[in-house]
Amino acid sequence: MALSATIFKANLQVSDMDRNYYAEHPLTLARHPSETDERMMVRLLAFALHAGEQLNFTKGLCADDEPDLWQISLTNEIELWIDVGLPDDRRLRKACNRSQQVYLYSYGGRGADLWWQKNNDKLQRFGNLHIIEIPETASKVLGKLAERNMQLQCTVQDGEIWLSNGEQSCSIAPLVRKSQT
């Protein structure tokens, strides 16, 4: 018998001073049985950093040809492709060819460093690719914020991120590995 996804609800308040974006998003996240709380919360963080009316979670780990989040235009073009983790360079190449902008949020400490060293040269040619690493200490704290029902506040200012559930908070200074050229 296959295991089913675990459903999480999050009421996410975003105050992004870098983008002048302020909104509240009631979200439903399906956590795949093989997904950790840490990965799910990095997905939620990626949503907060790109929040907008057209941004949606996809089938994620259940679909090989879809990212974790995307924004589709009214003409059915992929405007924004967001992945979480350490994908192979072929997946990112495909994403860069299909989408106007591609963001990868990597995490995992030493594993993320090794992945970057291995793939850095291959990925430099993609001008629409952004790679942001979430430090291991921050991603671990994010994972501890996961609850079935969450009330979260995300504040972004000068590239720094604060995520809080009212009792605990996490300060995140993401490492930009690659930005648009």
pLDDT in tens, 111-167: 999 999 999 999 999 999 999 999 999 999 999 999 999 999 999 999 999 999 999
The reported pTM is 0.94
Task: Give the pLDDT score at 155.
Answer: 98
Which pLDDT does position 2 carry in this prediction? 56
CA 104 – CA 85 distance, rounded (Å): 7
At 1, the pLDDT band (50, 70, 90 cuts) reads very low
For 171-176, what is the mean pLDDT?
96
| Domain 6-178 belongs in CATH node 3.10.640.10 | yes
What pLDDT shows up at residue 65?
73
pLDDT reported for residue 148 = 96
- For the chain, give the mean pLDDT: 93
Q: Residue 113, Cβ neighbours under 10 Å: how many?
A: 15
Tell me the pLDDT tens digit for each residue of 59-107. 765 556 789 999 999 999 999 999 999 999 999 999 999 999 999 999 9
What's the Rg (C-alpha) of the chain? 16
pLDDT at residue 44 greater than cutoff 50: yes
**Distance between CA atoms of 149 and 10, rounded to whole angstroms?**
6
Question: Who's near 100: CB < 8 A, 6+ residues apart?
Answer: 77, 78, 79, 80, 128
CB 151 within 8 A of CB 27: no
